[in-house]
């Protein structure tokens, strides 16, 4: 069938079952947008290109599908760099399609030209520059395959402007053939046998779940394994939701702002089984003292992550969709009475978790973050998707907002991108329209992509935005208070505009609450109100996130209310 490059691109998207794209037009993609117009292809016009890529990211995290976004050349796609890096750090499958100047103008410093392939090489799983229209179907097929197979990640496809206009005979390949990459990862069964043998010998085992469990969609399998073993579980920030937060032996998040019980369990365990986790520095504390008494088993799809930071005594390099079914089968067949064998350890760590729960201060006449999260949790459905920006509120969400379903906690983990939350929540709602979406953000983060309030109104997207308002950049301010002698350099936001007026100017209604007795009635009114809304909640500006492991300290050297515990 003869068609233009722009028409062919849309046909490729249809073949990949793409049901929506997020984007912003410009000169290099005008032909593509003209075909969008003719084909009535579902497209969300965001207020900024960064909003488009974060929205595609949120869509991908919530649905498990590949998120797709469009941008024009030069400044358009350069505005997406932060979002591409965000997705890359958290292994999120995206296909970013950007326009490039015409083939004859590439490399001549032409108007709105940027070498986006060169710029994004370190922050994409792969990228392409298409100058021949005949390559377009093959490249698009490969891009989607690469993005969603193996360890997922973003793939950028940069397309010269003239390619969109050029006609050719279109056929879409049925298969992908890439030298050295199959997207299929099966490890060695004998490595799993070693892992099971180590479990049989252990007395103080601990499971660490990472974002790879959610990316592989194997949370149900993991929960079966955990139920058979009745083993204590801790989670990374990205692994939240892989195991029910209310599982009796779930000790919470580990790391810099992890629970006392989780951090101490790492310090005392004799076997640590890490599943789809990359041992980020926020998880490990001082690497040399991480899990000092433990034999470490690391199951991961990416061989690069094994032994990169923490030495694994036993490594199982392979897709969790391959390894976890076999692990469950071997554990079930074992003659070892795991439940009895781990009983003393389970009792020890769970009692500690009860004795040292997450908590924030209860200051008279103020609203505590803990109270806010607990009251929201009581009033929203179990499958509510909680989205965060980055900072103190992000940690409080992880600590206090209990989840039982995977893909219902969306947060920028590796890059820590302020401004991620609002567009990501928008993408999540578009991908999962039947689920409630609540964004927890701060009065610093919300300003960074607040233009997307306009997008919510334009498309009737229902998001509940809760702003924890403390007039400061909360986490920066906390560090300055704790480690920089209270020198609050550039972290005071008292002169920020009223966010409810900002949102109202774009059609999103606002509520405010500052007194404890106002919280519940205002929250209830806000949550049942039709359409999107913003709830601005005043919290103390000197509230800290605890526990906290200071930089350069071990996990068991946590600070709580200014004291080491």
Active-site positions read: 49, 111-112, 161, 475
* H/E stretch holding 159: strand 154-160
Spatial distance between the Cα atoms of 425 and 541, rounded to a whole number of angstroms: 26
Query: Which residues have a Cβ under 8 Å from the Cβ of 179 and sit 6 or more positions away?
Result: none
Q: Which residue has the tokens 């008279």?
A: 364
What is the dihedral angle through the alpha carbons of 442, 476, 395, 554, rounded to the nearest 10 degrees? 180
Is the CB of residue 413 less than 8 Å from the CB of residue 236?
Answer: yes
Handedness of CA 383, 385, 391, 392 (dihedral sign): negative
Cβ atoms within 10 Å, residue 181: 14
Spatial distance between the Cα atoms of 428 and 417, rounded to a whole number of angstroms: 17
Q: Which two tokens stand for residue 421?
A: 């939350």
3-state secondary structure of 492: strand
Query: Which residues have a Cβ under 8 Å from the Cβ of 430 and sit 6 or more positions away?
Result: 20, 44, 55, 59, 459, 461
CA 33 → CA 112, 188, 231, 366, distances in Å? 18, 48, 53, 51
Spatial distance between the Cα atoms of 159 and 144, rounded to a whole number of angstroms: 16
Is the CB of residue 159 less than 8 Å from the CB of residue 137?
Answer: no
Q: Which two tokens stand for residue 175?
A: 């298969």
* H/E stretch holding 524: helix 516-528
* H/E stretch holding 513: strand 509-513
Cβ atoms within 10 Å, residue 293: 12
CA 502 → CA 51, 79, 282, 335, distances in Å? 17, 23, 34, 63
Query: Which residues have a Cβ under 8 Å from the Cβ of 469 and sit 6 or more positions away?
Result: 442, 443, 499, 536, 537, 538, 539
What is the radius of gyration, based on Cα positions, of the chain?
Answer: 24
* H/E stretch holding 94: strand 94-100
Distance of CA 102 to the CA centre of its chain: 35
Strand-pair partners of 167: 4
Supply φ then ψ for residue 492, to 5 degrees: -95, 130
């Amino acid at each position: 069938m003869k068609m233009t490059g722009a028409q062919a691109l849309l046909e490729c998207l249809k073949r990949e079952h793409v049901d929506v794209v997020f984007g912003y037009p410009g000169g290099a993609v005008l032909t593509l947008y003209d075909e969008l117009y003719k084909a009535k292809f579902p497209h969300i016009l965001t207020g900024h290109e960064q909003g488009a890529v974060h929205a595609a990211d949120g869509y991908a995290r919530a649905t498990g599908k590949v998120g797709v976004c469009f941008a024009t050349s030069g400044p358009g796609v350069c505005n997406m760099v932060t979002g591409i890096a965000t997705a890359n750090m958290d292994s999120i499958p995206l296909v970013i399609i950007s326009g490039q100047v015409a083939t004859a103008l590439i490399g001549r410093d032409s108007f709105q030209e940027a070498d986006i392939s060169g710029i994004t090489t370190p922050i994409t799983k792969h990228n392409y520059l298409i100058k021949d229209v005949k390559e377009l179907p093959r490249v698009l097929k490969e891009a989607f395959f690469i993005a969603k197979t193996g360890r997922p990640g973003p793939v950028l496809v940069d397309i010269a402007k003239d390619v969109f206009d050029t006609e050719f005979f279109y056929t879409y390949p049925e298969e992908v053939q890439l030298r050295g990459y199959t997207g299929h990862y099966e490890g060695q069964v004998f490595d799993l046998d070693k892992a099971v043998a180590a479990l049989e010998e252990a007395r103080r085992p601990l499971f660490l779940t990472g974002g790879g469990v959610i990316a592989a969609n194997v949370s149900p399998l993991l929960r079966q394994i955990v139920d058979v073993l009745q083993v204590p579980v801790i989670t990374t920030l990205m692994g939240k939701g892989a195991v029910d937060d209310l599982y009796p032996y779930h000790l919470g998040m580990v790391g810099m702002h992890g629970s006392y019980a989780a951090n101490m369990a790492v310090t005392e365990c004799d076997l640590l089984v890490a599943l789809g986790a990359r041992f980020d520095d926020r998880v490990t504390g001082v690497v040399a003292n991480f899990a000092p008494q433990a034999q470490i088993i690391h199951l991961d799809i990416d061989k690069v992550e094994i032994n990169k930071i923490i030495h694994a005594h036993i490594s199982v390099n392979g897709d969790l969709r391959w390894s976890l079914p076999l692990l469950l089968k071997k554990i079930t067949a074992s003659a070892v009475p795991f439940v009895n064998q781990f009983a003393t350890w389970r009792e020890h760590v769970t009692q500690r978790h009860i004795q040292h729960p997450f908590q924030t201060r209860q200051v008279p006449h103020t609203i505590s973050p803990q109270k806010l999260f607990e009251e929201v949790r009581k009033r929203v459905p179990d499958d509510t998707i909680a989205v965060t920006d980055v900072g103190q509120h992000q940690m409080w969400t992880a600590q206090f907002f209990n989840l039982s379903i995977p893909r219902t906690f969306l947060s920028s983990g590796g890059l820590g991108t302020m401004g991620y939350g609002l567009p990501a929540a928008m993408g999540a709602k578009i991908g999962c329209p039947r689920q409630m979406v609540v964004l927890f953000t701060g009065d610093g983060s919300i300003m960074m992509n607040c233009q997307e309030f306009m997008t919510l109104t334009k498309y009737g997207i229902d998001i509940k935005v809760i702003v924890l308002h403390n007039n400061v950049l909360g986490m920066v301010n906390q560090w300055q208070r704790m480690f920089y002698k209270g020198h609050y350099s550039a972290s005071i936001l008292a002169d920020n505009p009223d966010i409810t007026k900002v949102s109202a100017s774009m059609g999103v209604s606002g509520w405010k609450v500052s007194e404890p007795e106002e919280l519940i009635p205002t929250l209830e009114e806000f949550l049942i109100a039709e359409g999107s809304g913003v709830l601005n909640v005043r919290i103390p500006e000197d509230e800290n996130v605890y526990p906290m492991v200071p930089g350069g300290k071990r996990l068991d050297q946590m600070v709580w209310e200014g004291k080491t515990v």
